[in-house]
Structure 1
């Protein structure tokens, strides 16, 4: 009786030695290219190098110069973070800019004309903003209408409400006196104060930073808008990359129907993110109101488009499912450095908008090339 053995048993030469696809190593280059924030970090390095050469002697990189472009970056960065999370989920919110002006007026009018304590006006503004954010998200998920259209409608609604209500209650579109009303208010200090003043005083005594004639440091502290930016960047980046909710955001933007079929609450995710964009817009509004001491009906004009550009520069795809909070922050940093760099270098400020359009086009093209390359590598 003969025993027939399979070719695999008779000879090791006949074994299938092709590498397992699951164990294939990914090159370091492909790992870097797969990171959404690669383009924005590279762009930031180039922008810094350019202005160090062009405006290095103008005071742009002195302590007060650094604080100037950091503040501008932070103002955009706060709303760019919210816009980034929403775009990763596959949606847009064009009402962010109008919400900034609306929330600012909702802080100023009750405080100055209705006699409310400033802290209650702040809570009132946040409550209204979150309610409107919920309404926008609810309309989007219930009707199936594109968020672009729904939020565009609220862009005009909020801007019109801001102007109409400010005229109705104050007969003007700029409301001042908020800084005086906010003196001693702890909640107002969380948005309009500064921290680290003692550190800059110590630097001044050591002669490491410039001072005024009375010996006070030219930099009094770090504005709270920068603190909010850094805090939101850390928290939101951790949520996006390390939590189940972050996975839900990516899944919702990647394929909402498939995500819903496996139990992801896509509707709740989208509504909560629309509320978060309203929250961040109100944070920025409060910081601006207490920094300038006034609210204006035209605050936040075109900020929604700047936030989207910062997010795209940061590596997010317009189709959703891909992006990075850190990348969006670097996109906002590029904005701040360029905007103040143009001022310090003496270049005509009209070129700033040209730069924004060019950066948007370059970022979209770069992201498209990188996405194709990574997809082919896989």
Structure 2
């Protein structure tokens, strides 16, 4: 191409050159990256002497962040596909109660109770997606209905079966089960014991646990969170199905014209959201050894906020799993950081509201930059 051609092309008003700085500004993860850095700097200055960044403190806020991350990955992919699921929190309580009832009350093997619960919850997720597609109703309305249906069924099933809303004994029946450790176990326990023996991490100095490291392994909850983030990121950015997810949320009708199976994509994303909620519930039940009918309360909003902080647009078609994971990390660090800093914990809800408002304003500005809207 000649210099004249290049000059005429660059002056063509139909060709828009995007600067490196502007390209950086429209990255979905921008807000969550900046927020993560600021949050860590703030709590390092405010709570570093309280043990927040000791091995035990890091494990503490890492577990909380992992809980947010697991459900945020599912919510992120679904929101990019252009839909919402407000039943996530109720699904968590429903799944946990299902595992407890089947294993403790009905005497099923724990592995069978877990597998059955996954199948049941993913079927409910598919039903939610199918109803959204067939009725044309907003997913907000359909899943809001399922929020109440699942919460009511959870309480009813618990009371009708055991006359209690909290069922314990799961840890006892899970003893020796082959599948339970995949959700409630720990990895690298030998490595952490070795570090404790070397004096690299703190160990207990008295009692029955004398000589054992304070942090004796990485909980499977964290492993699941990392695994789901890696899976979601690869799916979204490296596969044709990931392109279908973006297309389904960006412009569903145009996507259909180009051969994208929009309906199938959306239903699968509802199923995946149910899957992540069940992973969360199973890990929680194995950790506490019990299930409660009120578990998962408001988790759907925390997942959505994590995704919005991560840069996803509420209108769909734009977002990042990495950004959602960073949003979840911000939540975990702030929630536990307020405790370590000695700040009133109720301020965490204030933080949620402020950070959501700021994230929506930033994302709206980014959308206008992308679309050229005034």
Instruction: Report the TM range for the smaller structure's normalisation.
Output: over 0.9
Aligned equivalent of 1:332? 328
The whole-number CA distance in structure 2 between the counterparts of 1:206 and 1:16 is 65
Structure 2: 5+ residue runs without aligned partners? none
Counterpart CA distance in 2 for 1:14 and 1:348 is 66
Deviation at 1:198, TM superposition (A): 1.1
- Does the C-alpha gap of structure 1 residues 182 and 30 become closer, same or farther in structure 2, counting only changes over 3 Å? same
1:320-366 alpha-carbon deviations (Å, 9 max, x no partner): 00000000000000000000000000000010000000000011111
Shift of 1:71: 0.4
State which structure, 1 or 2, has the greater radius of gyration over its C-alpha atoms: 1
User: In the alignment, what sits opposite 1:234?
Assistant: 230
Counterpart for residue 145 of structure 2: 153
Structure 1 CA distance, aligned partners of 2:4 and 2:226? Answer: 59
- Identify which of 58, 61, 79 aligns with 1:66: 58
CA contact under 8 A between 1:30 and 1:374: conserved in structure 2? no
Confirm whether residue 85 of structure 1 aligns to residue 77 of structure 2: yes
Query: 1:16 and 1:212, CA in 2 relative to 1: closer, same or farther beyond 3 A?
Result: closer
Q: What count of residue pairs does the alignment treat as equivalent?
A: 366
Residue 19 of structure 1 deviates from its aligned partner by 2.8
CA distance in 2, matches of 1:175, 1:24: 61
Q: Which residue of 2 aligns with 1:217?
A: 213
SS in 2 for 1:295: strand
Residue 23 of structure 1 deviates from its aligned partner by 7.9
Deviation at 1:27, TM superposition (A): 2.2
TM-score (norm 2): 0.95
Within 1, Cα distance between the matches of 2:114 and 2:179?
Answer: 8
Q: How far 1:369 sits from its partner (Å)?
A: 1.9
Closer/same/farther in 2, CA of residues 199 and 17 from structure 1, 3 Å limit: same
Alignment counterpart, residue 178 of structure 2, candidates 186, 207, 215: 186
Q: Report the secondary structure of 2:180's partner residue.
A: helix
**Paired residue for 2:187?**
195
User: 118, 121, 124: which one pairs with 1:129?
Assistant: 121
Q: 1:30 deviation in Å?
A: 1.5
Encode CA deviations 1:288-314: one digit per residue, 9 max, x unaligned.
000000000000000000000000000
Cα distance in 2, alignment partners of residues 53 and 134 from structure 1: 46
> What is the match of residue 114 of structure 1?
106
Q: Kindly report the root-mean-square deviation, in angstroms, between the aligned alpha carbons of the 2 structures.
A: 1.7
Q: Distance in 2 between matches of 1:74 and 1:13?
A: 54
Alignment of 1:208-287 (within 5 A): 208-213=200-205, 214-287=210-283
Deviations 1:132-168 (A, max 9, x none): 0011000000110000000000000000000000001
Aligned to 1:314: 310
Q: How far apart, CA to CA, are the structure 2 residues paired with 1:16 and 1:28?
A: 20
- Which runs of no fewer than 5 residues in structure 1 stay unpaired? 1-11
- Give 1:14 deviation, angstroms: 8.9
Q: CA deviation at 1:367?
A: 1.4
C-alpha change, 1:15 and 1:115, in structure 2 (3 Å) is closer
Q: 1:99 to 1:16 in 2, by over 3 A?
A: closer
Q: TM-score, normalised by structure 1?
A: 0.94
1:165 corresponds, among 157, 160, 167, to 157
1: CA distance between counterparts of 2:246 and 2:4? 44
Residues 1:352 and 2:344 are matched in the alignment: no
Alpha-carbon distance, 1:375 to partner: 4.1
Matching residue of 2:42 = 50
Q: CA deviation at 1:206?
A: 1.6
Higher deviation after alignment, 366-375 or 319-328: 366-375
